[in-house]
Every structure is written in structure tokens, then in C-alpha cells.
Amino acid sequence: MTSIHGPGHAFLQKDTPLQQTPAPVAVFDLDGTLVDSLPDLVAALNVSLDGEGLATASQEDARKGVGHGARRMIEHALTSQGVAIEKERIDRMHKRFLEFYGANIAVGSVPFPGTEAALDKLEEHGILLAVCTNKYEALAVELLETLGLAGRFRTIAGGDTYGVSKPDPLHLTRTVEAAGGSRAIMVGDSNADIGAAKAAGIPSVAVTFGYSTIPVEDLGADVIISHFDELEAHALRLLGIGAHAG
């Protein structure tokens, strides 16, 4: 077994032959890209709102705050109700959110259609897999472990792993380094994902089925896909692999 070390959560991988050059990496966002986690995020948000005697949020409204961590999601919900953003309240709600979410992390969360098949195809081409999410690392690992996906990834880097989070390009480049790869692509659903990739000079793929509040075509991604069935060919082209290069 080969152990992949470095910042971020590492997993034991199957023995692989020594390579003269590092393999390419496909880096994925988590919420709204790999996993439809909105139902459980909204449930946790509404527990935190209810604890303050505030109105609960609909999934449609709550999804506008997903992608930048629980605090931003809470802040968005408060702003939507015209409630002042006060640190003491946010801290209290954040604590309640995390307690509930940690205990109910995959009640309604499921991988998006085609996710596992797409990962299989990328691995068949020798592409390493990694996760770069603004979710706390421990929660990201727990969610992926609960869904049986964690072992697919060389590293899982959360918003607290390196002290920076997307759209800071360092979050993405450190994830690629931790995965032990070389050239990379970023697959995501939001301006945080595509913005990090653009700043890092890494090609990006935007998915249309995520939680972006900005029209996906306006994110500036190199490729837009509406289903993971489309990912393989675009990933090979962007990574310069085989007949799909160029």
C-alpha cells in the first residue's frame, strides 16, 4: 500500500507502479458538485434559525448561501430576513448548526447522477482524484465516508485545512500538491471554484446542476457540463491526455 501524505486528509491507496512524472489531478468541489447536500444543509440552517425564533428558510433561498461555509450560509439567511449580522448571534447559530449537521450529515445527501461512474473513468486514465471544499475538513471527510466515497480521493482539503479557502488559489494549488499530482483541472459549481482555478492558472469545468447564484455561463469556466457523463472527454482534453489532447 502507498500512503499519500501531506496537508489535508490522506487515505491509503492501492499499490501503483512508480511513475517518472507526477500524474494529473482532477480536483472536485464537494457541495453542489460531487454531492447534492442541500437537504441536510438546509435542515441544519433551519435548526439554527429556529433556535433564534426566526423564520426557517426554503431550499431555494438557502441554496444561495451555499459554497462559502456555514457562517456565510447563516449570514445570508439573516440578511434575507433583514436581521442584523451580530458576531455573538452568528457564533451561537454556527455552533447549533454544526452540532445538528454533524449528527445528520447524510440523511438526505446523495452523490449527483453519474458521479461514481465519472470517477471510475478518470481513474482508468491514471488521473488522481482530490477534493477541495470550503466545508470544514472533518465534515467533508465524514460526509464522503458516510457515502462510501472518501477512499476514492488522494486528499480531501477543507476550508480550514490550509488557513485559506476558495476563491484563494492557494487552497487549490496546495490541494494539488497534497494529492501528489502535477497538472490539474478544477471541477466545481460556483464562482469560488472557478475563481480559484482562474487565479491558479488551472483549467476548470463548471457543472450546471449545482448551487451557483451566478449564471454558470458567466463564471468563466473553460467547459460547462450538465451531467457527469460529459466529464471524461473534457477532462482528457484539458489535461492533454491521449487522443483527446489539443
Q: What domains can you pick out in the chain, each with its CATH number? A: 2-36+110-244 (3.40.50.1000), 38-103 (1.10.150.240)
- The SS3 call for residue 38 is helix
pLDDT 10s digits, 105-133: 999 999 999 999 999 999 999 999 999 99
- Determine the average pLDDT of the residues in 202-229: 96
Beta carbons within 8 Å of 239's beta carbon, 6+ residues apart: 24, 26, 127, 183, 184, 185, 203, 245
Identify the pLDDT of residue 13. Answer: 42
Mean pLDDT of the chain: 90
Cβ proximity of 108 and 39 under 8 Å: yes
* 10-14, 94-98, 173-177, 216-220: range with lowest mean pLDDT: 10-14
Predicted TM-score (pTM) of this structure = 0.88
User: Do the strands 9-10 and 155-157 form a parallel or antiparallel pair, or are they unpaired?
Assistant: antiparallel
> 63-82 pLDDT, tens per residue?
877 767 789 899 999 998 99
Residue 4 has pLDDT above 50, yes or no: no
Across the chain, the runs of DSSP E, i.e. the strands, are: 2-3, 9-10, 12-13, 25-28, 35-36, 110-111, 128-132, 155-157, 184-188, 204-207, 223-225
Flag whether pLDDT at 15 surpasses 60.
no
One-letter identity of residue 23: A
Residue 243: what pLDDT?
61
> pLDDT-derived band of residue 182, with 50, 70 and 90 as boundaries?
confident
Please choose, from the candidates 59, 132, 144, 136, the residue with its C-alpha nearest in 3D space to the C-alpha of residue 97: 136
Active-site residue, from 15, 29, 31, 189? 29
Is the pLDDT reported for residue 17 higher than 80? no
pLDDT above 70 covers what percent of the chain?
90
| Core vs surface per residue 154-165: b (16+ CB within 10 A) or e | bbbbbbbbbeeb
Averaged pLDDT, 138-152: 97
The pLDDT value recorded for residue 245 is: 55
* 173/171 Cα distance (integer angstroms): 6
- The answer to whether 29 is a known catalytic residue is yes
